[in-house]
Structure 1
Amino acid sequence: MENRTYTADAEPGERVTVAGWVHELRDLGGIAFLILRDKTGKIQVKFAKDEMDDDLVEAGTSVSRESVVTVVGTVEEEPRAPTGVEVVPESVEVVAPADPELPLDPSGKVDAELPTRLDNRTLDLRRDEAKAIFEIRAEILRAVREYFREVGATEINTPKIVATGTEGGTELFPITYFGEEAFMNQSPQLFKQLMVGSGLERVFEIGPIFRAEEHNTPRHLNEATSIDFESAFIDHREAMDVCEGAVRAAYEAVDENCREQLELLGLADEFEAPEGAFPRLSYGEAIERVNATGELDEQLVWGDDLSTEAEKALGRDVGGHYFVTDWPSEIKPFYIKDHDDDEALSTGFDLMHPRMELVSGGQREHRYDELVAGFEQQGLDPDAFEYYTKMFRYGMPPHAGFGLGAERLLMTVLGLENIREAVLFPRDRQRLSP
């Protein structure tokens, strides 16, 4: 809109055109106020009824909340106004009227259940608190991208429609692709490995992944955003260094650049970036520490995965972010390299927040024969992945990397109770619209 002034930029003495939504109407008899809201904040529009044209007063005071309006007028200083200024209008145009009956209250005075909010996400994000979450999400992704660039990685985009699943199994969404069966990709894993064998060497991607999981919990989604990194000529330890750096970059950016949003969410006083190096516990040490807490009904034994209860018990014991390393080879994917001196142990690692797992990573198997053998050991057909395996015959360097769940990162950074609060339009077993 030509000559539009954002509400946050309105200064006393200026003649402005402000545009946005009707946040609230207050009629005090001889005087009325329209509170106009845009992306930068709110501003008060004053209607002195005895001093203004009746049509102007009618236009500004009969409009329903959440209607889109344009107001032309003069900004005056008013210490009693919420922002210290108000607009004395010359004209009010109702650009798009809103139905008087709203499915939820964008002012936040009346709470709405999460399903109602998700069903009406556009209205929901007119609330300052909901908007703040996604402003923070954007800042996290910006900071992570910048960090990856600083460590020399090139951003890539890999296919989301594939002929075979990254890890096989039942967690695949099949689709019909010109009469043939195809799948929505579970992960960019295989493609980013192919790129470390190219001239790019070090790459990252932030993009959607799809998993047909049966879980329907506050921390599972069927479409999520994965933050992936992969690099040639590094091992799993160096990959953990990069992983820790990326998470720190996210926290530090929020701490530095999102104080207003943290204030809206009630987190400004308690929010802080992690301090000190993230502990690195071997899988064996993790099992011992979980068992020592005495919080599980049954003791874990070697080869068990860490259940949700085990993760929470260990998280409370550690008290911050930590890595679990040296997982048993049998419970890690085929592309994870085993330790050279102990084939029973893999180089796989997970980064854990006290509440949940955030990252899965490791050093990858770069030797062709060993890679093919890994497929066969896990019951997968190497021929179905020939596009991937054949490149390992043409000089694939040692490499390592990880995948970080963007929504889980945001969920733990802000202490959100449900991962769906971190997604604009969640996809889970019950939700395919909007």
Structure 2
Amino acid sequence: MQNRTHTADAEPGDSVTVAGWVHEVRDLGGIAFLILRDKSGKIQVKLEKDEMDEELVETGLDVSRESVVSVTGEVKEEPRAPTDVEIVPESIDVLAEADTQLPLDPSGKVDAELSTRLDNRTLDLRKDEVKAIFEIRGEILRSVRDAFRDLGASEINTPKIVATGTEGGTELFPITYFGKEAFMNQSPQLFKQLMVGSGLERVFEVGPIFRAEEHNTPRHLNEATSIDFESAFFDHTEAMDACEHVVKAAYEGVAENCQEELEALGLEDEFEVPDGEFPRLTYEEAIERINATGELDEQLVWGDDLPTEGERALGDDVGQHYFITDWPSEIKPFYIKDHDDDDQLSTGFDMMHPRMELVSGGQREHRYDRLVDGFEQQGLDPDAFEYYTKMFKYGMPPHAGWGLGGERLVMTMLGLDNIREAVLFPRDRQRLSP
């Protein structure tokens, strides 16, 4: 509709055509109001029964909620209207009639279970607070891309169908690829490492990853969005600096450009951009602080992974984003480089929100012989990864990077209860449609 005006742009004295969804119809006797909603907001359409064409009034009164309509008329000032203006219609055209029985209430007056909302995601996103989540998600992705470009990184796209898993193991979705077994990629890790050995040197990617995890929790997905970074001639400390820069940029972008969306979510007074440097705790310090909280039934010892309840206890203790560094080599992937002066200690790090882990990263092993040794130590066949390992024979620079969970960033930033609220069409153990 070339001449369409968004409701937020309708000014007194304008002759406009607005189009959108019927939010509600209020019949007050001699006068009625049709509330029309589009992406930019809502506007009141005034129906005066005794002064307007009877067919026009009937069309406005009889149309069902969530039907798509086009209204042409004059905009008039009306201080009693929700937006201080209203339209006196010359015509109302019903473009698509909606069923009177809706599977959920887009006005939000009647709550729906999350499963019902996800089954009817198109209707669900007609609610201001749900739409706000995805407007904010889009701003986060725009902001992180800008932050990566500030760092001089080039955007890349890597394969999602691969011959071998990034880290091996059971978390792989097998597929049939022209009669051969292939897998959905767990991570762009190996490909982005190959790119730092190319002329690009510093790269980033925002794309899907696939993990066949059996978890069915409010913070796990089987298809997720990974925000990845890798840079030649970086060590793990510089990679952490870049991670902090990108996460802060995401918050800053939302604070600057999403005030209306934050208001829709009731977060306008409590949303804060992280201030100052993120604390950096060693793994040893982390388990000591977790043990000191007394929240675990058994004390953690060196080499233990951090349980969920331990992460929560430490997050409550730290109270802000923070890093855990210097993890034991044995519990980090084969491609993570050990410290030069202690092969039991890796350069791996995690970046944490008080609620959960957001980032995993570290400096990578760039020396061919040690990289192959790492494969063998973790029970992986180096020959299956020959496309990757052989490039380390041809001059691979020292490099470091990380991967950030996009949905987890949205979830923790907005205080969402379930990660599925941050995904348009989630994929988990039970959900393959829509």
- 1:34 is matched with 34
Give SS of 2:417's match. Answer: coil
- Cα deviation 1:363-409 (Å, max 9, x = unaligned): 00000000000000000000000000000000000000000000000
Amino acid at match of 2:301: V
Amino acid at match of 2:132: A
Distance in structure 1 (CA, Å) of the matches to 2:293 and 2:17: 63
Please state how far the C-alpha of 1:314 moved relative to its aligned partner.
Answer: 0.4
Amino acid at match of 1:244: E
Please state how far the C-alpha of 1:287 moved relative to its aligned partner.
Answer: 0.8
- Cα deviation 1:39-81 (Å, max 9, x = unaligned): 0000000110100111111111100000000001000001000
- 2:314 is matched with 314
- Cα deviation 1:200-253 (Å, max 9, x = unaligned): 000000000000000000000000000000000010000000000111001111
Distance in structure 1 (CA, Å) of the matches to 2:397 and 2:7: 55
- 2:163 is matched with 163
Amino acid at match of 1:104: L
- 1:288 is matched with 288
- 1:203 is matched with 203
Give identity over the alignment, percent.
83
Amino acid at match of 1:128: D
- 1:373 is matched with 373
| Runs of at least 5 residues in structure 1 that lack an aligned partner in the other structure | none
Please state how far the C-alpha of 1:256 moved relative to its aligned partner.
Answer: 1.3
1:84 aligns with 2:91: no
Please state how far the C-alpha of 1:265 moved relative to its aligned partner.
Answer: 0.6
Please state how far the C-alpha of 1:254 moved relative to its aligned partner.
Answer: 1.0
**TM-score, scaled to structure 2:** 1.00
Please state how far the C-alpha of 1:276 moved relative to its aligned partner.
Answer: 1.4
Distance in structure 1 (CA, Å) of the matches to 2:178 and 2:234: 40
Cα RMSD (Å): 0.5
- 2:270 is matched with 270
Amino acid at match of 2:298: E
- 2:19 is matched with 19
- 1:149 is matched with 149
Distance in structure 1 (CA, Å) of the matches to 2:275 and 2:267: 18
- 1:53 is matched with 53
Give SS of 1:24's match. Answer: strand
- 1:279-358 to structure 2, matched below 5 A, reads 279-358=279-358
**TM-score, scaled to structure 1:** 1.00
| Runs of at least 5 residues in structure 2 that lack an aligned partner in the other structure | none
1:252 aligns with 2:252: yes
Give SS of 2:50's match. Answer: helix
Give SS of 2:89's match. Answer: strand
Distance in structure 2 (CA, Å) of the matches to 1:54 and 1:425: 43
- 1:209-220 to structure 2, matched below 5 A, reads 209-220=209-220
1:224 aligns with 2:238: no
Distance in structure 1 (CA, Å) of the matches to 2:32 and 2:175: 57
- 2:236 is matched with 236
Distance in structure 1 (CA, Å) of the matches to 2:272 and 2:108: 27
Amino acid at match of 2:374: G
Distance in structure 1 (CA, Å) of the matches to 2:209 and 2:416: 21
Distance in structure 2 (CA, Å) of the matches to 1:153 and 1:376: 32
- Cα deviation 1:168-220 (Å, max 9, x = unaligned): 00000000001100000000000000000000000000000000000000000
Please state how far the C-alpha of 1:275 moved relative to its aligned partner.
Answer: 1.2
Distance in structure 1 (CA, Å) of the matches to 2:147 and 2:81: 42
Give SS of 2:99's match. Answer: coil
- Cα deviation 1:294-345 (Å, max 9, x = unaligned): 1111000000000000000100111111100000000000000000000000
Farther off after superposition, 356-365 or 266-275: 266-275
Runs of 4+ aligned residues of structure 1 deviating over 3 Å after TM superposition are none
The alignment of Structure 1 onto Structure 2 pairs a total of residues equal to 434
- 1:385 is matched with 385
Distance in structure 2 (CA, Å) of the matches to 1:21 and 1:176: 44
Farther off after superposition, 247-256 or 335-344: 247-256
- Cα deviation 1:110-139 (Å, max 9, x = unaligned): 111110000000000000000000000000
Amino acid at match of 1:235: D
Amino acid at match of 2:277: A
Please state how far the C-alpha of 1:255 moved relative to its aligned partner.
Answer: 1.1
Distance in structure 2 (CA, Å) of the matches to 1:14 and 1:316: 54
Amino acid at match of 1:66: E
Distance in structure 1 (CA, Å) of the matches to 2:258 and 2:429: 33
Distance in structure 1 (CA, Å) of the matches to 2:139 and 2:24: 29
- Cα deviation 1:1-47 (Å, max 9, x = unaligned): 11100000000111100000000100011111100000000000011
Distance in structure 2 (CA, Å) of the matches to 1:307 and 1:360: 16
Give SS of 1:50's match. Answer: coil
- 1:181 is matched with 181
Please state how far the C-alpha of 1:432 moved relative to its aligned partner.
Answer: 0.3
- 1:108 is matched with 108
- 1:122-137 to structure 2, matched below 5 A, reads 122-137=122-137
Give SS of 1:256's match. Answer: helix
Distance in structure 2 (CA, Å) of the matches to 1:323 and 1:150: 22
Give SS of 1:34's match. Answer: strand
- Cα deviation 1:247-277 (Å, max 9, x = unaligned): 1001111111111111111111111111111
Give SS of 2:241's match. Answer: helix
